[in-house]
Chain A
Amino acid sequence: MNDMRTMDNAVNHDTKITARDVHVHYGTTHAIKGVDVDIADRTVTAFIGPSGCGKSTFLRCLNRMNDTIPGALVTGEIKIDEADIYDPRVDPVQLRAKVGMVFQKPNPFPKSIYDNVAYGPKIHGMARNKADLDEIVEKALRRGAIWDEVKDRLHAPGTGLSGGQQQRLCIARAVATEPEILLMDEPCSALDPIATAQVEELIDELKQNFSVVIVTHSMQQAARVSQRTAFFHLGHLVEFGETGKIFTNPEDSRTESYISGRIG
Chain B
Amino acid sequence: MPTLPIVLIVLAIAVAAYLLARSRAQRAAAREGRRLHSLPNYYGWTGALYAAGPALLLLAVWLVAQPVATRMAVWPVLEAEAAPNAQPALLMADVQRLAAGIDAAVASGRVPAAEAGDIPAEELRELMAGQGVALGSDVTPATRQAALRWRGLSAGGDLARTLAVIGLALVGAAFGVSRAKPDFRARNAVETAMRGTLIGAALLAILTTVGIVLALIFNTIEFFRLYPAAEFFFGSTWSPSFGGGSELGILPLLWGTLYISIIALLVAVPIGLFAAIYLAEYAHKNVRSWAKPMLEMLAGIPTIVYGLFALLTVGPLLVDLFGRNGALGVNWMQGGTAVMTAGLVMGIMLIPFVSSLSDDIINAVPQSLRDGSLGLGATRSETVRQVVLPAALPGIVGAVLLAASRAIGETMIVVLGAGAAARLSMNPFDAMTTVTAKIVSQLTGDADFSSPEALVAFALGMTLFVITLALNVVALWIVRRYREQYE
Contact = CB atoms under 8 A, between A and B. Distances in A.
Interface of A: 63, 65, 68, 70, 93-98, 100-101, 103, 105, 107-111, 119-120, 123-124, 170, 173-174, 177
Chain B interface extent, by class: 20 to 34
Given A103-B372, A105-B368, A96 B377 contact: yes
Contact of B372 (A95, A107, A123): A107
A65 B374 contact: yes
B376 interface: yes
Nearest to B379: A93
Contacts of B371: 65, 68, 101, 103, 107
Given A110-B390, A111-B390, A70 B285 contact: yes
Nearest to A121: B376
Interface of B: 284-285, 366, 368-379, 382, 386-387, 390-391, 485
Contact of B374 (A94, A96, A105): A96
A93 B387 CA distance: 16
Contact of A110 (B284, B377, B382, B391): B391
B42 to A, nearest CB: 45
A170 B372 CA distance: 8
Contacts of B285: 70
A129 B285 CA distance: 42
Contact of A100 (B375, B387, B390): B375
Contacts of A111: 390
A120 B366 CA distance: 19
Nearest to B374: A68
B390 A123 contact: no
26 contacts: A63-B375, A65-B375, A68-B371, A70-B284, A93-B379, A96-B374, A96-B375, A97-B376, A97-B377, A101-B376, A103-B368, A103-B371, A107-B366, A108-B372, A109-B369, A109-B372, A109-B387, A110-B369, A119-B373, A120-B376, A120-B378, A123-B377, A173-B376, A174-B375, A174-B376, A177-B376
A105 B386 CA distance: 20
B364 to A, nearest CB: 13
Which 7 A-B residue pairs are closest in the complex by CB-CB distance?
A97-B377, A101-B375, A107-B368, A96-B377, A120-B376, A107-B372, A110-B391
A170 B375 CA distance: 11
A123 B374 contact: no
Contacts of B390: 109-111
For the complex, would chain B's binding face be called helix, strand, loop or mixed by DSSP majority?
helix
Contact of A109 (B379, B391, B485): B391
Contacts of A119: 373, 376, 378, 386-387
A120 B369 contact: no
Contacts of B382: 123
B281 to A, nearest CB: 11
Contacts of A170: 372
B367 to A, nearest CB: 9
Contact of A93 (B366, B368, B377): B377
Contacts of B368: 103, 105, 107
Of B284, B373, B377, chain A has the most CB atoms within 10 Å of the CB of: B377
A96 B390 CA distance: 22
Contacts of B370: 68
A105 B371 CA distance: 11
A98 to B, nearest CB: 8
Contacts of A96: 374-377
A94 B376 CA distance: 9
A174 B375 CA distance: 8
Contacts of A65: 371, 374-375
A72 B356 CA distance: 28
Given A96-B376, A109-B373, A123-B386, 15 more contacts: A68-B370, A68-B374, A97-B376, A101-B376, A107-B368, A109-B372, A109-B386, A109-B390, A109-B391, A119-B373, A119-B376, A119-B378, A120-B378, A173-B376, A174-B376
Contacts of B378: 93, 119-120, 123
